[in-house]
Amino acid sequence: MAKLGVNVDHVATVRQARRTNEPDPVWAAALAQLGGADGITIHLREDRRHIQDRDLRLLRETVTVKLNLEMACSDEIVRIACQTRPDQATLVPERREEITTEGGLDVVGQQDRVAEVVRRLQDAGIVVSLFLDPDARQIEAAKAVGADAVELHTGQYALAPPGPKREEELRVLAAAARQVRQLGLVLHAGHGLTYTNVQPVARLEGLEELNIGHSIIARAIMVGLVEAVREMKSLVS
Ligand code: PXP
């Protein structure tokens, strides 16, 4: 049964819209845990558009489940991660003009750099996952750079309309998932998942972790965060 990591970035997005102190992602993380979250995920972006350094520090102190830090391969963020020591780091590509993380990390094109970052994080005691498109060459490269886990990017699946196109994207994910497990890597997935499209992904064999943000926070505005997490958790399991 896959574990549910709840991404609370969007709580910080609302706060940063007014540069004030509410709503607080630290409070949100506590409520998500009450709703059954197995992990809390945050992305400390180089432009600090939502999560701030203070959030990472306080979440490191207060989160009692797995703390997963999404991050780019930037020296500044690697340094912060090694000092703060989240339980897990998920390396993602980052472009300032994007609304959210768009594609998977290109490991093939920067293998030496990714290998160095993986090593630095692991030396600090952090488990390292790489956020990848379901692409065989990228998954091979994840093994070569010594990553512990791969988070398969489910964005294309989530964008596909229900029907044959979505079925095809699911087959692509299933093949990539098999490859990840055959290489001895831990299997995660996430991005664009919702209450209506999550279940086929949650059923992928060997899946250990799903990371979901936008859909849960969107529902939380209507029903409250504890309830929103509880509903997602029951779908995932
Ligand atoms: N996984 C990764 C690596 C991400 O970058 C994101 C978005 O921050 C998510 C999962 C969650 O995506 P969503 O907000 O669409 O659920």
Instruction: Give the dihedral sign, CA 67/102/184/71.
Output: negative
- Out of 3.20.20.70, 2.60.120.620, 3.30.565.10, 3.60.150.10, which CATH number does the structure's domain 3-236 have? 3.20.20.70
Return the pLDDT at 223. 98
Q: Give the residue extent of every domain in the chain.
A: 3-236
Return the pLDDT at 101. 67
Kindly report, residue by residue over 71-113, the tens digit of the pLDDT.
999 999 999 999 999 999 999 998 766 676 678 999 999 999 9
Category of 199 on φ-ψ map: left (φ > 0), alpha (ψ -120 to 50) or beta? alpha
Question: What gap in Å lies between CA 31 and CA 16, rounded to an integer?
Answer: 20
Q: Which residue out of 68, 88, 100, 194 has the highest number of ligand 1 atoms within 8 Å of its CB and is therefore the one to mutate?
A: 100
Alpha helices in 24-163 (DSSP H): 25-34, 53-62, 75-84, 111-123, 136-144, 155-159
What DSSP element (H or E) covers 129? Answer: strand 127-132
Residue nearest to atom 5 of ligand 1 (CA): 101
Tell me the CA distances in angstroms from 196 to 33, 214, 225, 236, one per residue in order.
22, 13, 18, 11
Question: What gap in Å lies between CA 224 and CA 31, rounded to an integer?
Answer: 9
Cis before 162? omega within 30: no
Ligand 1 center–CA 212 separation, angstroms: 6
Tell me which residue of 236, 197, 195, 190 sits closest to 212, measured CA to CA: 190
Return the pLDDT at 233. 98
Res. 146: pLDDT tops 80: yes
Ligand 1 center–CA 154 separation, angstroms: 9
192 lines ligand 1 (CB under 6 A): yes
Kindly report, residue by residue over 211-221, the tens digit of the pLDDT.
999 999 999 99
Known catalytic residues are: 43, 70, 191
Res. 27: pLDDT tops 80: yes
| 8-state DSSP, 109 | G
Residue nearest to atom 4 of ligand 1 (CA): 191
Burial 43-54 (b: 16+ CB within 10 A, else e): bbbeeeebbbee
Kindly report, residue by residue over 151-188, the tens digit of the pLDDT.
999 999 999 999 999 999 999 999 999 999 999 999 99
Q: Is 21 helix (H, G, I), strand (E, B) or coil?
A: coil
Res. 191: pLDDT tops 90: yes
Rg (CA), the chain: 17
pTM over 0.95: yes
Return the pLDDT at 102. 74
Cβ 185 vs Cβ 147: under 8 Å: yes
15 lines ligand 1 (CB under 6 A): no
Q: What are phi and psi of 157, to 5 degrees?
A: -60, -45
Ligand 1 center–CA 96 separation, angstroms: 16
Kindly report, residue by residue over 129-140, the tens digit of the pLDDT.
999 999 999 999
Q: Which residue out of 191, 194, 210, 215 has the highest number of ligand 1 atoms within 8 Å of its CB and is therefore the one to mutate?
A: 191
Mean pLDDT, residues 33-37 = 98
Res. 58: pLDDT tops 80: yes
Q: How long is the chain?
A: 237
Strand residue runs (E) in the chain: 3-7, 39-43, 66-71, 88-91, 127-132, 149-153, 186-190, 207-212
Return the pLDDT at 96. 67
Question: What gap in Å lies between CA 188 and CA 130, rounded to an integer?
Answer: 9
Please name every residue paired with 67 in a beta bridge, in sequence order, or none if there are none.
40
Cβ 106 vs Cβ 67: under 8 Å: no
Share above pLDDT 70 across residues of the chain, in percent, rounded to a whole number: 98
The mean predicted confidence, pLDDT, of the chain is 97
